[in-house]
């Protein structure tokens, strides 16, 4: 069923979204419950990050301090999260000033709308979500959403009353049209991507308050973002799971334009995870880490027809989105994305290298390079290993894939984030110490009497 067939039912059109809550509400009343995300959030460019020592007078963000703050404080408050994510995920460069961000937001908004209009023009039949007619709430949301889109388009046109602003927007539109005119689509592949998007979007996070009542229209915002991404990233297109990730950005940023660009920035780093080779690589890394931490549990999970650790892929792909309570899952996502401990591991490797050089120049004999830290072991792998180790006995009792699936499903929404983070951090530091300090200390322990301890820099990192 298309939107055109839905709109023929004038009775539904008149009742609109109010039927979804079984009561009649005004627009202002509905916004207290939930609402459809605005196209963009102009105030995000001028707001200040209220974290100590993170933003200077001109609005530049100290990226290192921001990432450290997120990790050491276990995330940021819900009030700060939307603005912080715009920097953390790269929509706004940390080195940009307040004035530069205001201009950048204009450009990003214009580009997004030019991109969105292009695929809508080429595939007019795909502009509206196709439904099977059994989802009454979403049918009402589709009707309400279209009327809202018309109103918002008119309001957006009226707000550009300044001649200077209109000229600037016109120039940006011309630039964007020239830029994206060169992009050609494989329409058959794009239509297939849209078909899968239309299958996934209606069942995305329907239990969240953000998608309740009027907010159900946010699923249609999510759909437009995902299709625009698939159209202009054809090497990646769309894969299941992207809807869950993008939904997280939309809920926090509450802006169509801002969500699109933040999601794009995130996918630049993680798009490979949605391909088969990326999936296999993550499983290989988790298996390698578990083998170091618990060889017996590793041996059990990679034999007995348990198909290795593929059941962990959803955890890693979605950032443990379903294993923790929702607000904790948002905190965890920003903690995993701050990469603070990954920077520590790089410092360890640099310190190892400097100490090794210092020792090499003081000795005549050759120095064998010790085993280095595997930098692909990011913090998410240690968190995954923590969950496995915490449930070691239950996993050892699993004898087939069915039992394993039942067990992992039983974990959804039950894990304690603070406890898991603490244990994962301990595993991370122990791994770094064992890899860097203990191995080298054993090799060079006979030289302890020669002045400053050989591992001063390494020990300092863990003090």
Task: Answer yes or no: are the C-beta atoms of 176 and 117 closer than 8 Å.
Answer: no
Q: What pLDDT sits at residue 246?
A: 98
pLDDT tens-digit readout, 181-229 = 899 999 999 999 999 999 999 999 999 999 988 888 899 999 999 999 9
What is the pLDDT averaged over residues 62-80? 94
Q: Report the alpha-carbon distance of residue 426 to residue 39 in Å, rounded.
A: 43
Token pair of 363 as six digits: 């000795």
- Residue 424 pLDDT more than 80? yes
- What residues contact residue 188 under an 8 Å CB cut-off, 6+ apart? none
List the single range of 282-286, 365-369, 423-427 with lowest mean pLDDT.
Answer: 365-369
Residue 395 or residue 16, greater confidence: 395
- Residue 13 pLDDT more than 50? no
List the single range of 27-31, 53-57, 355-359 with lowest mean pLDDT.
Answer: 27-31
pLDDT bin (cut points 50, 70, 90) of residue 454 is very low
pLDDT tens-digit readout, 373-418 = 677 889 999 999 999 999 999 999 988 888 888 998 999 999 999 9
Q: Report the alpha-carbon distance of residue 220 to residue 227 in Å, rounded.
A: 11
- What residues contact residue 274 under an 8 Å CB cut-off, 6+ apart? 236, 239, 241, 242, 317
Find the length of the chain.
463
Q: Report the alpha-carbon distance of residue 164 to residue 160 in Å, rounded.
A: 9
What is the pLDDT averaged over residues 241-259? 97
- Residue 174 pLDDT more than 50? yes
pLDDT tens-digit readout, 287-338 = 999 999 999 999 998 875 556 788 898 899 999 999 999 999 999 999 999 9
Mean pLDDT value across the chain? 81
What predicted TM-score, i.e. pTM, was given to this entire model? 0.81
Task: Answer yes or no: are the C-beta atoms of 39 and 108 closer than 8 Å.
Answer: no
Q: What pLDDT sits at residue 154?
A: 60
Q: What pLDDT sits at residue 400?
A: 84
User: What's 208's DSSP letter?
Assistant: S
- What residues contact residue 56 under an 8 Å CB cut-off, 6+ apart? 62
User: What's 324's DSSP letter?
Assistant: B
């Amino acid at each position: 069923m298309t939107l055109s067939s839905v709109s023929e039912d004038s009775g539904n059109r008149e009742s609109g979204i109010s039927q979804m809550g079984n009561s009649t509400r005004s627009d202002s009343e509905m916004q207290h419950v939930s609402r459809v995300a605005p196209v963009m959030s102009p105030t995000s460019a001028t707001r200040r990050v209220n974290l100590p020592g993170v933003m200077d007078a001109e609005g530049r963000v100290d990226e290192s301090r921001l990432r450290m703050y997120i990790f050491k404080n276990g995330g940021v408050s819900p009030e700060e999260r939307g603005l912080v994510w715009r920097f953390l995920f790269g929509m706004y460069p940390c080195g940009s000033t307040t004035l530069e961000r205001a201009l950048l937001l204009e450009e990003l908004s214009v580009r997004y709308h030019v991109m969105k209009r292009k695929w809508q023009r080429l595939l007019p039949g795909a502009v509206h979500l196709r439904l099977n007619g059994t989802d009454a709430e979403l049918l009402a949301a589709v009707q309400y959403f279209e009327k809202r889109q018309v109103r918002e388009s008119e309001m957006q046109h009226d707000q550009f009353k300044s001649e200077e602003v209109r000229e600037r927007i016109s120039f940006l539109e011309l630039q964007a049209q020239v830029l994206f005119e060169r992009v050609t689509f494989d329409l058959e592949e794009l239509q297939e991507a849209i078909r899968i998007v239309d299958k996934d979007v209606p069942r995305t996070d329907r239990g969240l308050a953000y998608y309740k009542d009027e907010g159900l229209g946010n699923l249609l915002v999510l759909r437009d973002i995902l299709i625009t991404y698939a159209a202009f990233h054809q090497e990646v297109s769309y894969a299941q799971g992207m809807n869950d990730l993008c939904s997280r950005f939309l809920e926090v940023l509450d802006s169509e334009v801002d969500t699109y660009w933040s999601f794009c920035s995130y996918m630049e780093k993680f798009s490979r995870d949605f391909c088969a080779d990326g999936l296999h690589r993550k499983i290989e890394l988790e298996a390698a880490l578990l083998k170091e931490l618990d060889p017996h549990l590793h041996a059990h999970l990679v034999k007995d027809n348990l198909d290795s650790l593929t059941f962990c892929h959803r955890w890693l792909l979605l950032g443990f989105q379903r294993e923790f309570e929702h607000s904790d899952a948002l905190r965890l996502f920003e903690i995993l994305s701050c990469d603070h401990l990954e920077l520590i591991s790089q410092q360890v490797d640099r310190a190892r290298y400097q100490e090794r050089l210092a020792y090499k120049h003081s000795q005549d004999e050759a120095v064998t390079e010790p085993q280095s830290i595997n930098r692909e072991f990011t913090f998410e792998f240690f968190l995954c290993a923590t969950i496995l180790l915490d449930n070691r006995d239950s996993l050892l009792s699993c004898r087939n894939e069915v039992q394993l699936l039942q067990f992992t499903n039983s974990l959804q929404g039950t894990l304690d984030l603070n406890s898991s983070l603490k244990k994962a951090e301990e595993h991370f530091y122990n791994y770094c110490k064992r890899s860097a300090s203990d191995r080298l200390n054993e090799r060079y322990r006979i030289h302890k009497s020669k002045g400053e301890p050989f591992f001063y820099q390494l020990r300092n990192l863990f003090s």
